Amino acid sequence: MIKKIGFIVNPIAGMGGKVGLKGTDGVLKKAVKLGAKPIAENKALETLKEFISHFQTKDELHWFTCAGIMGENELKSVGFKKIEIVYTPKSNKTTDIDTKNTCKKFLEKQIDLILFCGGDGTARDIFKIVSNKIPILGIPSGVKMHSGIFGINTNATAKMLNEFVNKRLTIGDAEIMDLDEKLYRKGKWNIRLFGIAKGIVEPTYVQVGKSIFESVSDDEVKNELAEHIKDEIEKNSDYLFLFGSGGTVDYIAKKLNLQNTLLGIDAVYKKKMIGNDLNEKRILRLLQKYPKVKLILSPIGAQGFILGRGNLQLSPMIIKKIGLDNIIVVSTPAKLSSTPFLRVDTGDKKLDHLFTEKEFMMVVIGYRLSRVVKLQTNNF
């Protein structure tokens, strides 16, 4: 079957990087003045060329894109023929409105995958329109790429596209992250979890026969994780359970019939939800009432952070009170295969050091099944 691929290039993505602006959201003019040059076009071309030269004949895909510099030019210049223009930007100075309008058309056309070239900002704009209805794959070209939908470089992205087209990759959760650029330029770090999109992921394989492996869906793996957490809750009936943010933890909670918040921290005691979307203060109050606590976390975003990205409510004081041994990290094997390390960035150097001293964590990857994963602190 012919795959329908939506293609968007954010021509200004990444321009703030080299001139030290940490993003172009709202400050494009300044970036240009500082000598910023467009880089997205080249990144998009590199990816498409790699895709064509190594993997794919040119006509098996049906492309949907925007006119001119937002996709059409790149697709044509590498020689794709089956291209449908779904939207034309009003001027050459493209904005997020153009991205969003294009995505509305993508929804109408029921395309199979959106391939875009940009950074976290572009990802957010796309996600705002398509939510988790269409899987998204990002060619990394922004200044910040904390979201879990990016390939690690143009080559890897081309490879993922090829594997998706050939049905060797499956669809799974991917976090869209949001960094407040205004705050960030002032030196403050505040990355929130913006939403859970659909991304393309490596399937998990389970050996079913001597040499036969069956790929199991993301949901099947998460069902196993839910089963595991259910046992943990039953085994530790006098513990308060804090459910962290993100798609994996959310899925587990919903499977256990708990009305969890996707992006927030929630508290469960004796199998009942006793607090939703908690901030630091409310968590601390709960910790006074319930001295025995277990915290369920999952890596968030592209770099494997379990703390410090998307869950800043879990302050250093909270983590210390809970204790490192009471943290349960869960992850699908697919997610771990793209994040070989777990990272923490709690904002407290001493606490980070306690994690690094541990060197590793046992990560639950299936029902009663765990594996060793190395820990790193945020040193980049």
Partner 1 sequence: MGGQILMNRNATAFLNNEYQELVEKDLDWKLRILESGSTPHSVVDGKKVIMLCSNNYLNLSNHPKLIQSAIDAAKKYGAGSGSVRAIAGTMKLHIDVEKKLAKFKRTESALIYQTGFAANSGLIPQLVGKGDIIISDELNHGSIIDGVRLTKADRAVYKHRDVGELEKVLKDADKKYRRILIITDGVFSMDGDIAPMDKIVNLASEYGAMTYVDDAHGEGVIGPEGRGIGAYYKIEGKIDVEMGTFSKAYGVVGGLIAGSQDLINFAFNKSRTWLLSGSHPPAVAGAQFAAIDVLEKEPQHVKKLWDNTNYFKKELKSMGFDTGTSETPITPVIVGESSKAKELSNKLFEEGIFALPIVFPMVAKDKARIRTMMNAGHTKEDLDYTLEKFEKLGKKLEII
**Residue number, 70 or 252, with CB nearest to partner 1:** 252
Q: What sign does the CA torsion over 233, 235, 237, 240 have?
A: negative
Instruction: For residue 272, state whether it binds partner 1 (rule: CB under 8 A).
Output: no
**Chain residues 320-349 in contact with partner 1, contact rule CB under 8 A:** none
Instruction: For residue 1, state whether it binds partner 1 (rule: CB under 8 A).
Output: no
**Residue number, 193 or 336, with CB nearest to partner 1:** 336
Q: Which of 134, 125, 142, 112 is nearest to 43 (CA)?
A: 142
Closest approach of partner 1 to the CB of residue 201, in Å = 14
**Residue number, 183 or 369, with CB nearest to partner 1:** 369
Using CB under 8 A, pick the residue from 259, 357, 368, 379 that binds partner 1: 368
Closest approach of partner 1 to the CB of residue 223, in Å = 16
Instruction: For residue 210, state whether it binds partner 1 (rule: CB under 8 A).
Output: yes
Closest approach of partner 1 to the CB of residue 100, in Å = 36
**Residue number, 252 or 278, with CB nearest to partner 1:** 252
Instruction: For residue 359, state whether it binds partner 1 (rule: CB under 8 A).
Output: yes
Closest approach of partner 1 to the CB of residue 234, in Å = 13
The H-or-E segment that residue 136 falls in is strand 136-140
Instruction: For residue 369, state whether it binds partner 1 (rule: CB under 8 A).
Output: yes
Cα–Cα distance for residue pair 251/367, rounded to 1 Å: 15
The H-or-E segment that residue 311 falls in is none
Instruction: For residue 371, state whether it binds partner 1 (rule: CB under 8 A).
Output: yes
CA quadruple 56, 57, 59, 61: dihedral, nearest 10: -10
**Region binding partner 1 by CB under 8 A among candidate stretches 2-10, 99-107, 188-196, 361-369:** 361-369
Closest approach of partner 1 to the CB of residue 360, in Å = 5
**Region binding partner 1 by CB under 8 A among candidate stretches 100-108, 183-191, 267-275, 357-365:** 357-365
Find residue 278's DSSP bridge partners: none
- The phi, psi pair for 157, rounded to 5°, reads -65, -45
Whole-Å CA distances, 376 to 122, 198, 307, 350, 362? 28, 27, 11, 14, 14
Q: Which of 121, 364, 362 is nearest to 375 (CA)?
A: 362
**Residue number, 169 or 263, with CB nearest to partner 1:** 169
Q: Contact at 8 Å (CB) between 250 and 279?
A: no
Instruction: For residue 379, state whether it binds partner 1 (rule: CB under 8 A).
Output: no
Using CB under 8 A, pick the residue from 186, 372, 379, 380 that binds partner 1: 372
Residue whose structure tokens are 């040193």: 379
Radius of gyration of the chain (CA): 22
Task: Give the three-class secondary structure for 7.
Answer: strand
Using CB under 8 A, pick the residue from 91, 211, 237, 259 that binds partner 1: 211
Closest approach of partner 1 to the CB of residue 162, in Å = 12
Closest approach of partner 1 to the CB of residue 169, in Å = 11
Using CB under 8 A, pick the residue from 84, 152, 356, 360 that binds partner 1: 360
Cα–Cα distance for residue pair 196/149, rounded to 1 Å: 10
CA quadruple 285, 290, 292, 297: dihedral, nearest 10: -50
Cα–Cα distance for residue pair 127/147, rounded to 1 Å: 11
Binding residues for partner 1, per CB under 8 A? 205, 207, 209-213, 215, 359-360, 362, 365, 368-372
